[in-house]
Amino acid sequence: MPNAFNFSASPFDCLSAEEQALVRDSVDIAYYPQGAVVLDVGDAPAWLFVVIKGYVTQTEGDEQLATYGPDDCFDGRGLVAGRVSSRFAVAEELVAYQLARATVMDLIARNRAFGALLFSDLGQKLSALAQRAQQHQMQSLTLARVDQAFLRPAHVVPAGTDIVAVVRLFQSQRTTSVLVSGLQGGLGIFSNTTLQRAVLDGRPLAQITVGELASHPVITVRAGDQLGDAMALLLRARVHRLAVLGEDGQVQGILEALDLFSFLANHSHLITVQIEQAADLQALEAAAAQITRLLAALHRGGTRIALMAQLVQQLNARLFERAWQMIAPPGLVANSCLFVMGSEGRGEQLLKTDQDNGLLLRDGYEPPADLQAVCERFSAALARFGYPECPGRIMLSNPAWRASVSGFGLKVRDWLLQPQGDSLMHLAIFMDAHAVAGDAQLLADVRQRLMQLATDNDALIARFALAIDAFGGPAGWWNRLLSLGDAEPMNLKKAGIFPIVHGVRSLALARRIAATGTAERIAALQAEGQLDAALAQELVQGLHFLMGLRLQAGLAEQELQRPVTGNVDPARLSTLERDLLKDTLLVVKRFKALLHQRLRLDAA
């Protein structure tokens, strides 16, 4: 029996050693010449085919649905259903493994992930992958070094220091513990928990020395130890802090249980602390640089795309808020609302993209005379942080993107009711606005006016939604992916992300849905009966899958020090990734057809 079967290809990569042996014992090899029909509509398949060499096309009527090449398998769904619903014809002479139906059914019964990846719809496939990724993520994080987590500075005081002096140090250094030197047996530790004992002692705090109450010896861990071992030590010793020793044996910092568990949860705690403690723009720039490193680490660990995007939005919002507070005078901060738009506003940004932001001013407020200079300094600061200026100047340093609430309300009204030039594009961008600093109610007021203006004007909604075809119809991208041999790189934003995002945004405008995130809009549309549950799930899962592929490609470009395009080369995708990309583009294709029908786009 063949021993060269590729068990690293999906869905066979999730099989155990015993299950792999079952495959080897049951598989055979078949040959089909070019033009041969391997399976036809109505056939009762006896085999699952795994391509070794050649290509097979799947068609329904005159429409080509998919192309299968080396390491791809077909037709799992037909095998389970007992009947084939498509035609599978050889486009280039085929050599393939044949795996008997009884063996496949046995594997499905034994291995739930195998069955999900073999024949389920897009949502179930991605859910199965997410479960595997979460297990891998936790394993990889616990294997990280202790010094990769956030270590708090170690403040050391002599044992004779009085409690009042230590409390003053707690306050000035924003810490909750100090190490105590000069004790028998080495260092001790005094924390805010121990402070309670000092208060209950009854003596004046200025008369109690820290050495009297310090706990010792301090539990230590090496900087190079694994975080999993540090976590076990914390639990075993029943302490909340570990002193981290460097290679020279000296204390390098303090690892607190909160920081450790936050690191294992998402890594973002470290950056949040850096942003909060930043004293100037230079310190914020250092924190901003950590966000991309965070993404790379989370991606390697298999973190869900939705969670990564949520973390990035939260970190960016706090970063922008702190920068605005450092640059803008307090009166301007209090009487304005700084907002971000586009993928950042929707909470769907991963790698840093162009700035898309604006500024709303409270009605009646007189801004400072140097407002333009303040806004230019802010845009320049974001550029330093790695967020390039918007080529279209959609940013608050452009006076067109800052106005009073009333003024911006009129601007939005004109975009919606009297669209000219880029008006509808500007409206689409603004619909995703998210407040990050100042008075968020100012943005809420403008958004409320927009929703009040939104009408049941089918022609207007159709004109707004037509942008889903701005980058060509589905056939172009589809044919590029299905082409035999090498395919050109694909722009996933144009091929799939934008049609999903803007299509959902168009339906949300028609229904006056105020949510800004695509997933939240989809949930609201489903709740109102505008999308069925299956399509809603596939749109969310498909969007996150495309975002993940784009992130993966962008990180690879960064490693090679190339400009980040996010374009994906289908030839470099794994078998599973190509399979999922085909499934996702099918979802996009169906969704666009639905929009054309429901919004009457062909008549717009």
Burial of 437 (0-12, 13-18, 19+ CB in 10 A): buried
Average pLDDT over residues 124-135: 53
Sign of the torsion angle spanned by Cα atoms 239, 245, 250, 251: negative
CATH class of the domain at 12-114: mainly beta
Q: Show the 3-state SS of 462-517.
A: HHHHHHHHCCCCHHHHHHHHHCCCCCCCECHHHHHHHHHHHHHHHHHHHCCCCCCC
Is residue 86 within 8 Å of residue 59, measured between CB atoms?
Answer: yes
The kind and range of the H/E element at 340 are strand 336-340
Q: Which of 33-42, 128-137, 468-477 has the lowest mean pLDDT?
A: 128-137
Nearest to 254 by CA among 245, 265, 266: 245
CATH 2.60.120.10 domain range(s) in the chain: 12-114
> Residues with Cβ < 8 Å from 2, sequence gap 6 or more?
24, 27, 29, 97
Residue 278 banded pLDDT, cuts 50, 70, 90:
confident
Residue 400 banded pLDDT, cuts 50, 70, 90:
very high
Selection from 259-268, 317-326, 448-457 with the highest mean pLDDT: 317-326
Predicted TM-score (pTM) of the model is 0.68
The kind and range of the H/E element at 336 are strand 336-340
More confident residue, 19 or 601: 19
pLDDT, residue 136, reads: 46
pLDDT, residue 137, reads: 46
Query: Which tens digit of pLDDT belongs to each residue from 18-73?
Result: 999 999 988 999 999 999 999 999 999 999 999 999 989 888 887 777 778 888 88
CATH architecture of the domain 303-453 equals 2-Layer Sandwich (3.30)
Is residue 241 within 8 Å of residue 257, measured between CB atoms?
Answer: yes
Token reading at 595:
């929009």
CATH 1.20.120 domain range(s) in the chain: 459-603
pLDDT, residue 535, reads: 93
CATH 3.30.460.10 domain range(s) in the chain: 303-453
Q: How many CB atoms lie within 10 A of CB 459?
A: 11
Q: What's the CATH fold of domain 459-603?
A: Four Helix Bundle (Hemerythrin (Met), subunit A) (1.20.120)
> Residues with Cβ < 8 Å from 171, sequence gap 6 or more?
none
pLDDT, residue 525, reads: 96
> Residues with Cβ < 8 Å from 440, sequence gap 6 or more?
337
pLDDT, residue 1, reads: 45
CA–CA separation, 253 and 301 (whole Å): 25
pLDDT, residue 477, reads: 57
Token reading at 440:
């968020």
pLDDT, residue 518, reads: 96
Average pLDDT over residues 170-182: 88
Query: Which tens digit of pLDDT belongs to each residue from 142-168?
Result: 567 888 777 888 999 999 999 999 999
Mean pLDDT of the chain, nearest integer: 85
More confident residue, 482 or 504: 504
> Residues with Cβ < 8 Å from 237, sequence gap 6 or more?
219
Token reading at 528:
């109102």
Over 50: is that where the pLDDT of 121 sits? yes
pLDDT, residue 151, reads: 85
pLDDT, residue 603, reads: 64
